Structures are given as C-alpha cells and as structure tokens.
Amino acid sequence: MHVIELHGCIDDGGSGAATAGGGGKDNRKGSTSLNGSMDSYQVVYVKDNVSVYPTQHARERISGRLRLIKQEPSVFLTWIPYNVEGGLGKDGLVLLPNDRNLYTIRAVSLAEIRSIRRHTPPLGWQYIIIVLTSGLAFPPLYFNNGGVREFLATLKSHAILVRTNDDAHVYLVNDKEDPLQRSLTSLELTELPHVSAVVSSTANNVDTYPNAPKPDEDNKNVTDGTDSNNMGLSENSQHKNSRDPARDLSIQVLEKFSMVTKFARETKAHLFGESRLLGNSEMDLDRAPNRSREDNTSFGRTSSLPPDSIPNEMPALVWGRARPPPLGNEEWMTFLDAEGRVMDPRALKKRIFHGGVEQKLRCVVWKFLLGHYKFDSTYAMRKALVVRKRQEYWVLKSQWQSVSEDQAKRFAKFRERKHRVEKDVVRTDRTLPFYDGDDNPNVDLLHDILVTYSFYNFDLGYCQGMSDLLSPILYVIEDESEAFWCFAALMERMAPNFHRDQNGMHSQLMALSKLVQLLDNPLHDYFKQNECLNYFFCFRWILIQFKREFDYDNILRLWEVLWSNYLSEHFHLYMCVALLKRNRRKIMDEQMEFDTLLKFINELSGHIDLDSTLRDAEALCLFAGEKGAACIAPGTPPALVATDPET
C-alpha cells in the first residue's frame, strides 16, 4: 500500500479540540501538498473527537481528528491523534509519542480503500471499520459525538459507494463496476481459447481472482423410466459469510495494527497465514493418514517418491491402474430398482468418480448428480416433477418477455443484465457444432435461460462466467426447461463464486493456500516469498470449474467427477494442488513472480492431461485425509449441491 507522508497541509491536531465535536466541510486551502509539491489542496471534511480504543477502558481512548483532503485528482483520508505529549490529556489518556505513530492514519487515498463497515450499536458510540484493498483493516474509529452519516455523505460526493448485497452496513468504495466483474474482466474470460497475461495491479483487487461430437441420436432411447427430459429444484439457500468484521477486529488485537507502511507488504501473508492446526505440514507419501478399507482396496499402489525427485514432465503421484470405462446404460439399470429408485447412491457416485458416464447417458445421470432428482425418487415422481417444473419455467420466462420497450426504459437493472447476457452468449463455445453458425437456435436458448435465471434469482442476477457453466448443461440435456432447472440447481452452490464481495472465492483460495502448505510446503514457501499467497492465479480454475482449461469432452468428464462428491465436495481444490505440484519445478526453477506465474498458468489451457491430473488429485485427497479436510473452513462453497431438491 502506498502511504503518503504529511507535511504542511495537515495540522497536528493542535490543542486537542480546535472545533471539538465539530464536523463538516473545511474550505481552507494550502500550498504544500500531500506529496510535498506545491500543488493546492482542500479539506472537504473534518470531524473532531473521533477515537481509537487500545483497551476496553474508555479513559484510555486516543482521540483525534478525521479529515478528507482533496488534492486533484485524488482524495485522501487522514486520522491524526491530538498532540498530547505525555501526562493526562483533556480526553483522559496518557498518549506517548510511540502510541501516536502506532495509530495515526497518514493520507490514505480513497483508491486504496476497499470497503467501509458502519456499526450502530443499540448502546454506545457509532463506529466504522476501514478495510484497504490490500486486505489490511484499520482499528475501529469511534464517533464520540455522532456524525457517521455525515461522513459517509461527504465521502459519497467524492467517491462511489455501493452497499453490498449481503450486508447493508458494508459499503464498497469506488465500486464503478462490481469487484467480481473487475476480476472477471482482468481474467479475460470472454477470450477463447487462451488468456493473456494480466497486469500485476489486478492482484490488489482480489486480496481483500477438440470440439466434442454432438450428442448421439440415440440419447432419447436411454432409460431412466420417465420422459426424455426431467429435473428438480433444490432449496434456494444462499451461503453467506457469517463472520462479523467487528468481532475479527476486536479490541484485544488492536496492538497488531502498527503503522500501515510496516505491514503493507505482509498483508497477503496475514490473510493467508500458515495453518497452526496441521502440525508438521510437509507430508511425505509414505506417511499417509489412515484410509477406509474401501478406498485401500480400490486402487493400485502409489509411488512414494518425494515431490522433489519427480522430473518436470512426470506427475508427482502415479497410480498403478488406469481409470475404468465410463458407465453405460446396461450397467446403469443395475443401480435402479423396479420403481426407478437408485438403490446404492454411494456406489453409483464411486463408479462415476472413477470412470465417468457415457455421453448418451449423461442427459439422465447428470440430473441426479446435480441434485435435481432425489436418488430415492421413482419413475412416476420424476415424471410429475418434469411437468410441474416445465410450467414453472414458462411462467418465469414470460415475466421478462412481457416487459415492453417502454417499461425497459425505466428498468435499468433489466437492461444491464440482458445486455451482458447478449454480449456473452455470442462468444460462448461458438466453435462447437452445437453452438456454431449464425442464427443458431441453441444460442438463443442459452440467452433465454440466462435472462430467465436473472429473474429467478434476482439478487444474484447474471455475471460473466455463468454462460460457461450453462453451455455444457444445455449441450447435454438438450431441453430448455430442464437445462434451466439443472443450471439453477448447480448455481445453488456455485452462486457464492459470483457474489459481489467475492467471499466465496476468497474462502476457496484461502483453503487452497492451506492445502498447498499441507501437501507441498516448499512450493507454499516459494509463493510466500514471492508474494503470491493470494493464489489469484488459480482464480479462473475455481470460478468456472476449469471450463477453459480442457477441451469440451474432457470438461464433461471432469464435471461429473466433481459432481459425484465421492471423496470430497471440494475435490476441485485438490485438482488445483495437483496441477501446481505437476508444474512446481518449472515455477520454482524459473523464479516466476506473480505476473509471469499468472501468464504461465493461463497458458496451460489446452495442454493438461485430465486422466493423470485426476489420479494425482485423487491421491492427494486420500493422503491429506482429515488434515486436508481441516484446511477447508466450514461454509466454504463446495463444487455441487448438497441438499436434496424438491420432488
């Protein structure tokens, strides 16, 4: 974080309360600028008696003056403690020079502020918590005489403030477009097939990112005991971040917030710190944790060579047997009873995890994997569900289709979302025969499903990347209504990836950081030394489930493995670890820093062997065991729906 030293333009807090309790605009001008030049500045807001509490005792508070200072083209925020040199000040505290430096906020640009959280407790003073784009948070600033609303109003006249969807008390600062969209834009998701390098400045925005054949014609002959197309809808439950920043920034840890300049370069390490619960984090393959008898007897032997001894072109782990052939229709029928119930869901998931599903059967099995059908649903129940959900879909679709041009002129959110969808669908998988050509009806279906979903889940709406998730589903299901409900069920768990605050993505990246520390500590240390612990270079992998990294046929195979939820609902994170371990030697030997690392990771697209990566990820997941599960915090978005849908 860049911090500008103050010179003549800011007074020292003076006598402690020059305008005690005052707040508002100060039109005084100065000739000495924040950066030491002779440019003019303007104090646009000043508030006295804004305090920091180093302890729980009110008498020990440190009071000072909060200001907003405009120096074209920037606006800076400062908080300077009153000049009380030892002894008891009028505010009842002994303030030593070191204390003054510890809590002083020296000219932080609004461009460096990520968010401001406003707290209005039933009893006590209002306060705000300022979080920087680097992830560092300042201690709470208490407004002893009120004035938070006035401060925010002044701030709003000089910056863009946007309330978050999840918490009306949190304001994103300078959010000209939502932060997720900035990250998506920086990742160039709309470019096919590869992604170019991203400038290093995008890292700060995230700390707080062969054509397949058409389906076989005999798809319609696949037996699931119901109409050719069906689906269900899982309960609509948004996974919100339950952490309270006020608790995280409690009084007891204020001493850790030293001068901003001291901790700016350590922010990433602070956010993605080393796990203290894993013990010795460097795990050799011959020291695997206990595994179930079922898993031990299902696989061949694993190489016990340490990662450092594996050549560049070889995987870190090699299994003794190949993956079995995909699940076919005849075998599928053996999993069903006479009324169509899946008799052993875990056995089915295990079979799909290891071998996948034949293309002509996917239109049936995917509905179970995505959670649309309950495994214990019958043929008759699924058939009735199809009819009911088709009617619901057409009602939803008619809602936006009935919006007239005149209404649309006064419906900005609808216009914006519809425009985003129109812009994205014409660039989604157009090299595939299924979506190729002008006036392709399948592209129109892609458009209609996405716009309908933006009405179905109006809080989330549409975000770039969703078309990538829908495209394979529509390709497999080949029915508009059923593809919609399959997509909606998938989004029940994928939605946190697209929230404005990016908490869903951040929690997964943090879990990935801990998994790498557990399974490849030297690589983790390398990332730490090179300030890459935000793992933003894996952002695209996680956001759209490796959609841009493999060809279309392999993506279908990979997704059904992830959706099987057999070993872990976070198996996609072990995929990330496997890919990083596979390329660790090149990364470390070439001393890649963030820019070159991001470029290298993006250029892996289309050059990754799926089968060997799946075997590596499977081995890593088994060896990590409970310690690996402990790396993933409760509530971290998994790769699929875990709740049963409506039937």
**What whole-number distance in Å separates Cα of residue 263 and Cα of residue 259?**
7
Tell me the CA distances in angstroms from 406 to 125, 396, 458, one per residue in order: 47, 20, 21
Cβ atoms within 10 Å, residue 611: 12
Tell me which DSSP letter residue 211 carries: -
Q: Give the strand pairing for 645-646 and 170-173.
A: unpaired
Q: Both tokens of residue 343?
A: 């008799």
Residues 265-282 have pLDDT tens digits of 343 333 333 333 333 333
| Residue 279 φ then ψ, to 5° | 70, -135
Q: Check: CB of residue 263 under 8 Å from CB of residue 132.
A: no
Mean pLDDT in each 10-residue stretch from start to end of the chain (647 residues)?
Answer: 39 39 52 47 90 73 90 88 56 48 81 88 84 79 89 89 80 65 51 34 34 39 46 36 41 36 36 34 36 37 35 39 86 96 96 95 96 94 96 95 91 91 94 94 97 94 93 96 96 90 89 95 93 90 94 96 94 96 94 92 94 93 93 80 41
Please tell me the predicted confidence (pLDDT) of residue 201: 35
Please tell me the predicted confidence (pLDDT) of residue 262: 36
Q: Check: CB of residue 420 under 8 Å from CB of residue 462.
A: yes
| Residue 48 φ then ψ, to 5° | -95, 170
Q: Give the strand pairing for 41-52 and 23-24.
A: antiparallel
Please tell me the predicted confidence (pLDDT) of residue 565: 92
Please tell me the predicted confidence (pLDDT) of residue 13: 42
| Angle, CA of 525, 531 and 534, to the nearest 5° | 90
Residues 362-403 have pLDDT tens digits of 999 999 999 999 999 999 999 999 999 999 999 999 999 999
Cβ atoms within 10 Å, residue 576: 24
Please tell me the predicted confidence (pLDDT) of residue 159: 86
Mean pLDDT of the chain: 75
Q: Both tokens of residue 287?
A: 């020291």
**What DSSP element (H or E) covers 46?**
strand 41-52
Please tell me the predicted confidence (pLDDT) of residue 270: 37
**Per-position DSSP letters for 84-126, written without gaps between them:** --SSB-TTS-B--HHHHHHH-EEEEEGGGEEEEEEE--SSS-E
Residue whose token pair is 């290093």: 200
Q: Both tokens of residue 423?
A: 């812009």
Q: How many residues does the chain have?
A: 647
**What whole-number distance in Å separates Cα of residue 447 and Cα of residue 428?**
10
Please tell me the predicted confidence (pLDDT) of residue 22: 52
**What whole-number distance in Å separates Cα of residue 481 and Cα of residue 231?**
9
Sign of CA dihedral 160, 164, 168, 171: negative
pTM across the whole model: 0.58
